């Protein structure tokens, strides 16, 4: 394998790695919202407080999704000083 083929292979691997990180960020965000909304819906059924807890826990899920998104972006090195 010559150096040009190695560079192409490394470039493809870097693109695949970035795609993997992006998809994990999106799935983490979506699942956080779904879990929060599901918990709120279940608690609303249990306590009989129809939309109140669903809405509150959906907001908690959104906040958790953003927290996870920032965590994964830091882990991927998006906020590093060297990237500027």
Q: What are the tens digits of pLDDT across the range 37-68?
A: 999 999 999 999 999 999 999 999 999 999 99
pLDDT, position 30:
96
Q: What is the DSSP letter of 49?
A: -
Nearest to 65 by CA among 37, 41, 18, 30: 30
How is residue 45 written in tokens?
A: 């059924």
pLDDT, position 84:
52
Q: Residues 28-43, buried b or exposed e (16+ Cβ, 10 A)?
A: bbeebbeebbebbbee
| Helices assigned H by DSSP within the chain | 3-47, 50-76
- Residue 82 in this model has a pLDDT that exceeds 70: no
Task: Give the percent of the chain with pLDDT over 90.
Answer: 52
Going from N- to C-terminal start, the domains of the chain cover 33-77
Nearest to 71 by CA among 14, 24, 15: 24
């Amino acid at each position: 394998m010559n150096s040009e083929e190695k560079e192409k292979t490394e470039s493809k691997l870097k693109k695949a790695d970035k795609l993997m990180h992006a998809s994990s960020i999106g799935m983490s965000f979506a699942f956080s919202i779904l879990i929060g909304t599901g918990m709120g819906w279940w608690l609303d059924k249990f306590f009989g407080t129809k939309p109140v807890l669903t809405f509150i826990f959906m907001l908690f899920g959104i906040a958790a999704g953003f927290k996870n998104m920032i965590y994964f972006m830091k882990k991927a090195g998006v906020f590093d000083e060297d990237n500027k």
